[in-house]
Amino acid sequence: MKLLVVGGGGREHAIIRSLKKNPSVTEIFALPGNGGIAQDATCVPIGATDIEKIAAFAVENHIDYAVVAPDDPLVLGCVDALEEKGIPCFGPRANAAIIEGSKVFAKNLMKKYGIPTARYEVFDRLADALRYLDTAPIPTVIKADGLALGKGVIIASTREEAKAAVRDMMEGHVFGASGDHVVIEEFLTGPEVSVLAFTDGQTVKPMVSSMDHKRAGDNDTGLNTGGMGTVAPNPYYTPEVANRCMEEIFLPTIAAMNAENRTFKGCLYFGLMITTDGPKVIEYNCRFGDPETQVVLPLLESDLLTVMRSTTNGTLAETEVKFADKHACCVITASSGYPTSYKKGFEITFTPEALAHTYIAGAKEENGKLVTSGGRVTGTTAVADCLEDAIREAYRLSDGVRFEGAYRRSDIGKRALQALK
Ligand code: AMP
Ligand code: GLY
């Protein structure tokens, strides 16, 4: 089988390495991929949002199955375009990807169908938002409606900060049109859990849970990033919490999307907070998380391609989705300065052992060398029987990833370890 994977980050590298384990796979094209993914797939310089070119490439190259991994092509209708050309795909159509593409849509869906989430108000006019903030409970959370590279969420601990955030979004357009509508919501507290789930629109099979580390600095300080590391499973996701999530969140969300004629197929990501009132949805993503995927897929014992195709064919109920009873830890190595400003173009070297355990994200090939080209450069994953060993091994291996200005948090998994004890 010839496969196509749209995207070019660490998540896509992890997906490609998993797909390659299926012996029927003869070739994988990554559009655009990156200099590191090139070890495992044929990279083609077509951008992930260049949907017409992606569809034309798939037809010309007789692609048997396509995986659309990132949010923006999904929201822009990449799956729809490929399906129109007769190419079966993993991922939701645009009308279902809106669950991530519009926070207003997601919040209204949860309200309509009684799915637990933070209380909220939606504003289309700056004056109304400012007036509401005069009396809103503080801290409060301000979210731009559309995709904003994970940066469209502001947690304001004072009224002034909250007002400045809505002004920035609605008047300053710092997130472009994403800020034309804003959600102002209740600030929730509790441990966060990421659950990625396969679904064919009827059946939902959650993957092993995980914990992201979103802040740039140790002990969860500094700015929010795309994610500085992950562990799986997440100790806060107990069997009791998992049962409640299935009954109160996962199944109702699938049913709600069907009732809205927006059947969701692919991977639905539930960003959850385990509050004293029970689990609540912080966000939905219409795709695999990054770097959650880099710990979840290494624990998958079933064949990824088989599971993915079952979500397309509607046969997920009969398909086994099994995870190893082990622990995984992924440590991101970033360019120093990330997530604000950082330099690029530094040569990256690996010990052979580190290379075998590392997914490559912000890197490109230049004159036969691999050089940094982004903020999050690599993710190094170790799997072990206990969390402590997985963490130690992920750090030992990531020491073998070197480039000028390489930065890692030193405490990935620490909170999870404390929770286990
Ligand atoms: P998001 O981009 O929606 O994942 O939000 C980024 C981060 O902001 C989340 O991982 C949470 O840590 C935090 N967050 C979002 N919404 C809330 C909320 N209602 N209460 C508390 N924290 C939140
Ligand atoms: N790691 C969070 C995300 O993929 O959105």
pLDDT band of residue 180 (cuts 50, 70, 90) is confident
The 3-state secondary structure of 334-371 reads EECCCCCCCCCCCECEECHHHHHCEEECCEEEECCEEE
Which of 104, 105, 141, 184 is the best mutation target for the ligand 1 pocket, counting ligand atoms within 8 Å of the beta carbon and taking the most? 141
Of all protein residues, the one whose alpha carbon is nearest to atom 5 of ligand 2 is 289
Whole-number Å distance, alpha carbon 160 to ligand 2 midpoint, is: 28
Average pLDDT over residues 190-198: 98
Question: What spacing in Å lies between the alpha carbon of 70 and ligand 2's midpoint?
Answer: 10
Element (H, E) at 257: helix 251-259
Residue 152: pLDDT band by 50, 70, 90 thresholds?
A: confident
Average pLDDT over residues 317-343: 97
pLDDT digits (tens, 9 = 90+) for 79-114: 999 999 999 999 999 999 999 999 999 999 999 999
Give the integer Cα–Cα distance in Å for 147 and 73: 11
- 80 torsion bin: left (phi>0), alpha (psi -120 to 50), beta (else): alpha
Query: Which residue from 193, 195, 197, 194 is spatially nearest to 266, judged by alpha carbons?
Result: 197
Which ligand 1 atom sits nearest the alpha carbon of residue 151? 2
Is 50 close to ligand 2, i.e. is its CB under 6 Å away?
A: no
Q: Is the CB of 212 under 6 A from ligand 2?
A: yes
Percent of the residues in the chain that have a pLDDT greater than 90, as a whole number: 94
The residue nearest atom 3 of ligand 2, judged by CA position, is 289
pLDDT average, residue stretch 250-273: 98
Q: Are 193 and 237 in contact (CB under 8 A)?
A: yes
Say if residues 373 and 364 touch (Cβ distance below 8 Å). yes
Q: Find out whether the beta carbon of 283 lies less than 6 Å from any atom of ligand 2.
A: no
- SS3 of residue 87 by DSSP: coil
Confidence band for 174, pLDDT divided at 50, 70 and 90: confident
> pLDDT band at residue 41, thresholds of 50, 70 and 90?
very high
Cα-to-centroid distance, 44 and ligand 1 (Å): 35
Name the one residue in this structure whose structure tokens are 């947690």. 155
| Ligand 2 neighbour 88 (Cβ under 6 A) | no
Q: Ligand 1 mean position to 103 CA, how many Å?
A: 12
DSSP assigned state of 117: B
Q: Distances from the Cα of 153 to the Cαs of 264, 275, 285, in angstroms?
A: 25, 19, 14
What is the chain's mean pLDDT, rounded? 96
Residue 190 is which amino acid? G
Between the CA of 11 and the centroid of ligand 2 the distance, in Å, is 10
Q: Is 229 left (phi over 0), alpha (psi -120 to 50) or beta?
A: left
**Is it the case that residue 148 has pLDDT exceeding 80?**
no
- Tokens found for residue 201: 């629109």
Q: How many CB atoms lie within 10 A of CB 400?
A: 17
The residue-averaged pLDDT of 380-401 equals 98
Check whether 389 has a pLDDT greater than 90: yes
Q: How far is the CA of 404 from the centre of ligand 1 (A)?
A: 32
**Tokens matching residue 145:** 């409606």
Q: What is the CA(208)–ligand 1 centre distance, in A? A: 21
Residue 197: per-residue pLDDT: 98
Pocket of ligand 1 (CB under 6 A): 118, 141, 150, 153, 155, 185-188, 192, 214, 271, 282-283
Residue nearest (by alpha carbon) to ligand 1 atom 9:
282
In sequence order, which residues have a C-beta less than 8 Å from that of residue 392 and are 6 or more positions away?
none
Lowest mean pLDDT segment, chosen from 153-162, 243-252, 392-401:
153-162
Confidence (pLDDT) at 122: 94
pLDDT of residue 175: 84
Report residue 374: phi and psi, to 5°: -155, -175
What pLDDT is stored for residue 150 in this prediction?
A: 66
The structure tokens 């999904």 sit at: 74
Q: Looking at ligand 2, which residue's alpha carbon is closest to its atom 4?
A: 289
pLDDT of the residue at 266 = 98
Which residue's C-alpha comes closest to atom 4 of ligand 1? 283
| Integer Cα distance of 123 and 390 in angstroms | 45
Tell me how far the alpha carbon of residue 376 lies from the centroid of ligand 1, in angstroms: 20
